[in-house]
Chain A
Amino acid sequence: MEEIIRFENVDKIFQNRKMSVTACKNIDLTVNKGDIFGVLGYSGAGKSTLIRMINALEKPTAGKVVVRGRPISELTGRELRLARKDIAMIFQQFNLLNSRTVFQNAAMPLVLNHVPKAEIKRRVDEILDFVELTDKAEAYSAKLSGGQMQRVGIARALTTNPSILLCDEPTSALDPKTQDSILGLLQKINRELAVTVVIITHQVGIVQKICNKAAVMENGRVVETGEVRAIFAKPRHPITKVFVDAVIDTSIPRLVLAEAQAARGAQRIVSVRVLGGNVCDTFVPDLAARFPVEVKTLSLSVNEIQEDVLSVFNLQLIGPEEETQKVLSYLGTRYDYEEIGADWSL
């Protein structure tokens, strides 16, 4: 896979007279061509600073950022401006020109490039059609809905056929339904126009819906990165777990757990995450057939991630200690599991 963006040991420290803030620390990250790369983190984690270093709106204090083989963090003047024309950006607050119509807003990057009028007309009509705003071409942006404004932002970003689209919280100002339509549009851009998308968000649901890769940030550091499927199947860092748990239900209803724990005899309660295909019906019978252990399902959640299925089985294993131990080692080699102790409470 071809690499398109690379962070090499990047630090970003904001320094003013009174104090210094480390917004990004030791960032090593690679985004490949064709990715929809999510950067997930709470407010103040350093996400915006990170994405803004990709088009050099911020310059690293140490390390470098390489985009399409060129160290953008070291470019200046005309070279930097030209490099930026290939890296479009959309914003949470849209940042449209209120004094201009939808058409004029979308045309702006072309105007800056001194493209002839007729060519601008052709290209902008085409792109407005793509974002389904043809009927609003002559409207002033101040009178649009939030979703329409972001579509204009997207149209504006795409008019010059960039290879990268940076999105800083592109849907945070929108209602859930509009949010979905914008996410769908970003996906369409990625697939049909082969644009690499980097999207920043504090909403794990967005990563689950459209990203194939993701990085999780906390206090300026990337604490976890990789395939979204893998991250969801096996979140390692505590903060990643918190994010993933918000959309993947791993809980056992308190009553069910209490009842299971009250049962007499040797037993263990485990939570197993199984990624890949629908195994709802087959997983438990298969386990029961392999080991002389009684397997009871306490709860089960089935989730879609990146066109795959992630199932979380909360199981009660009843049987002799040495047999249940074998089940655990079997599970350990294949899946991500977590044992739920007697003092485990919700």
Chain B
Amino acid sequence: MDSEDEIGIDSGNSSDDEDYDFMQVDEIQRQSGNAQDPVEYPFEVLTTEEIVKHMLDCIAEVNNVVEIPATTTRILLNHFRWDKEKLMERYYDGDQEALFKAAHVINPYVKPKRESKTFRCSMMEDCDICFLKYQYTNMTGLQCGHRFCKSCWVEYLTTKIMEEGLCKSIACAAHGCDILVDDVTVMSLLTEPRVKTKYQQLITNSFVECNRLLRWCPSADCSYAVKVQYVDARPVTCKCGHVFCFECGEQWHDPVQCRLLRKWIKKCDDDSETSNWIAANTKECPKCNVTIEKDGGCNHMVCKNQHCKHDFCWVCLGSWEPHGSSWYNCNRYDEDEARAARDAQEKLRSSLARYLHYYNRYMNHMQSLKFEHKLYSSVKLKMEEMQQHNMSWIEVQFLKKAVDILCQCRQTLMCTYVFAYYLKKNNQSMIFEDNQKDLESATEKLSEYLERDITSENLADIKQKVQDKYRYCEKRRKVLLDHVHEGYDKDWWEYVE
């Protein structure tokens, strides 16, 4: 079943709803993440063990073609950022000697010119690090021929790994020698488990960071990595549930593009002092000035002062009344007002006001998104209550889905304000702003229903009402995203930067 087919069907018939509800939670998330993408974007989520296996597979694959030691292959692959094709291409087309030199390894085809072992065995050798004399067998080195005693090697590698956090780029301990120490040599010399573990972590980490087709899940405390077949600004869903953009690693940010999002985030960081006050979670009731704390995601505020009970919009602090009706007008920056400000020769203030307008709404949805996570627990209670009233587990899943959709809409809305901030006004941008307004209004209604009205509602009516609302949200979200994507295809969007 394709989730896109369902969007727009507002009928009360619930036969196809069941299909929805049967889906596993992560499947719903994956589908909704990809819903607006016509072409599938295949990806895999890898555990640390799978990453290591993948790394060994890459080496084996190259070794099937190129007959060089695996340790050399690993260093070469790392040099080419784990791009197998590029390595093969350079290996067969170019100057191999130069290739080995650039990757800081000794050409494995050239036999090291070393005196015969039997002759050496009888001799004592000086270690240039500790200045002590050793039997030949207690000394070791790389192909470059620089030899040191084993205990000096261990000390040296331990310092590099534990203090400098190096792994792939540990060079020979001799002065001026840049030949890299391979992983097999490192692992065979190290004895302390603590250092060995750290080394393996560093190797895995550098493999993921070097490899264009891999990216660590940016979520805190998550140790999965996502592997793709080609790099693109597409959403990928980690096993931990985090949905992020593969190209830039930020939380999935459709409809705004990576470049503008990055620019916006930088601007927000730079301007954080001026905008800090907006992010605060308290405001005063515009009527009675009682301090009101925002404790939910819904922007429809009701003053807690029993004698006031003023209804207002958290975002614009205007009366709520118009927001509830058809002309929801909280999303569009009033150009006239801005012009008036410019006329007053307050250019600076006006551009700040413009920025704050978008920043305020962006932050507001971000804050709401955080609060919606509280909704999951309150909705869970409601679901339990409904199950006690003869509804099956499957039948009550629509409530969880409603919160999922609410979160997606908030995430999209957040990003629409970044897009809008950089957007130059034209006919299409007006349509975009209308779509934004519609989605915002639909989202606030869903939010308000789930947060407030649901408690007083008859259990039997809830399902129908919630489904109507979230389907409408989904529909508005799709309309908005499709329109922006069409604009990308047809070059409608011009930016102010």
Chains A and B form a bound pair: no
Binding site for B on A (CB under 8 A): none
